[in-house]
Each structure stands twice: as structure tokens, then as C-alpha cells.
């Protein structure tokens, strides 16, 4: 089984007078990322690797949750910055086969589109309804896929393991 976790960066400061890539987290984003870190610790969250956009807001989100991730290595990648759903799926298909649990940290609208494409609509739930509606900043979507290769991650094949929004853990 492969487990894919999609974490949208926490709320950024849109008022910052910097280019989009360099926007920092807002106060609300800092609080949400800290709350998510506590949630991850409580859930004994485990991943084999983390791949993150290189933007400042994704780096800052990672910095606030990394203590809950154990020793999972992280790669900050320019190509993940604002990548669309098709690009993200291609990235996932190219992940090393030996990784079983992966966390991606990035941006919308790619994450919202991808998560909704991957999830099996037959696993209807309140979480699925919430995911279909919106993928807010700081939210984590966890999907499980049968199979042993990342190429088994296909539209409609993912079981929704969890969809946790910052407002759910406050």
C-alpha cells in the first residue's frame, strides 16, 4: 500500500510587499501550522520522505511541523512551486518505489484538484464532502492506494484516510 499526504501551506501574508514566492506566513498561518504539528504528534504521524515547494510559506510550514515528522528527509523543490494537478501526478508517479508514505507540501489550486481527482467517490463521508468543497490553507489530505508502485496512484483509486483542516483541530 502507498500512502500520499498532501499538505497545503499554512495561511500566508498577502499584504507582504514581496513577490509571491517569498511571501511569509501570516499570524493565523503560524498558529494553524503549530496546531497541525500538535495533531500530527498526537496521531503519531509517520512518513518516509517529504517533498516541498521551495516557496517561503511552504518552508515555514515545514519548519513548524518538522518536529512531528521524526527523521524524514525533506527536499525543497522549485518544480513543485505552484505545480498543477497533472504535474503533481507525474511527480508522484516518479517517486522511488521504496518509499511507502510520502508527504507533499504545496499550493492550491493543484492540491485541491489533484485530491478530488484521486479520491474514490464511493467512499462518501463528511470529510469527502468537505474536501470537494475546499482545500483550505494548512489542511492535510491523506490518501491510501492499493498496490506497491507509485504508478498505482490513479484518479478514483484513492481511499480517503483523513482530511483535517486547521479549524477541525482548534
Domains recognised in the chain with CATH numbers = 2-169 (3.40.50.1240)
Place of cell 515545514: 62
pLDDT digits (tens, 9 = 90+) for 42-69: 999 999 999 999 999 999 999 999 999 9
User: Would you call 91 exposed, middle or buried from its count of C-beta atoms within 10 A (0-12, 13-18, 19+)?
Assistant: middle
Q: How confident is the model at residue 124 (pLDDT cuts 50, 70, 90)?
A: confident
* Omega of the bond leading into 84 within 30 degrees of 0 (cis): no
Parallel, antiparallel, or unpaired for β 2-8 and 140-145? antiparallel
Res. 24: pLDDT tops 70: yes
Q: How confident is the model at residue 16 (pLDDT cuts 50, 70, 90)?
A: low
Alpha-carbon gap, residue 104 to 113, rounded angstroms: 14
Query: What pLDDT, on the 0 to 100 scale, is given for residue 25?
Result: 95
Helices marked H in the chain:
27-42, 56-65, 85-93, 110-118, 126-133, 166-169
Average pLDDT in the 117-136 region? 90
Average predicted confidence (pLDDT) for the chain = 95
pLDDT digits (tens, 9 = 90+) for 94-116: 999 999 999 999 999 999 999 99
Closest of 147, 96, 136, 145 to residue 117, by C-alpha: 145
Query: What pLDDT, on the 0 to 100 scale, is given for residue 100?
Result: 98
pLDDT digits (tens, 9 = 90+) for 140-152: 999 999 999 999 9
Query: What pLDDT, on the 0 to 100 scale, is given for residue 170?
Result: 59
Query: What pLDDT, on the 0 to 100 scale, is given for residue 125?
Result: 83
Contacts for 40 with CB less than 8 Å, ≥ 6 apart: 65, 68, 69
Residues of the chain with pLDDT > 90: what percent? 89
Amino acid at each position: 500500500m502507498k500512502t500520499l499526504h498532501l499538505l497545503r501551506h499554512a495561511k500566508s501574508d498577502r499584504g507582504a510587499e514581496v513577490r509571491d514566492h517569498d511571501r511569509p506566513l501570516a499570524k493565523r498561518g503560524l498558529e494553524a501550522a503549530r496546531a497541525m504539528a500538535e495533531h500530527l504528534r498526537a496521531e503519531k504521524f509517520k512518513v518516509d520522505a517529504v517533498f516541498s515547494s521551495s516557496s517561503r510559506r511552504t518552508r515555514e510550514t515545514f519548519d513548524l511541523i518538522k518536529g512531528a515528522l521524526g527523521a524524514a528527509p525533506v527536499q525543497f523543490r522549485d518544480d513543485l512551486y505552484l505545480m498543477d494537478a497533472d504535474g503533481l501526478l507525474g511527480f508522484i508517479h516518479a517517486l522511488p518505489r521504496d518509499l511507502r508514505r510520502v508527504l507533499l507540501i504545496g499550493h492550491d489550486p493543484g492540491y485541491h484538484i489533484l485530491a478530488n481527482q484521486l479520491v474514490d467517490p464511493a467512499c462518501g463521508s463528511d470529510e469527502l464532502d468537505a474536501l470537494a468543497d475546499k482545500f483550505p490553507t494548512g489542511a492535510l489530505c491523506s490518501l491510501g492506494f492499493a498496490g506497491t508502485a507509485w504508478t498505482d496512484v490513479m484518479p478514483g483509486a484513492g481511499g480517503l484516510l483523513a482530511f483535517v483542516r486547521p479549524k477541525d483541530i482548534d
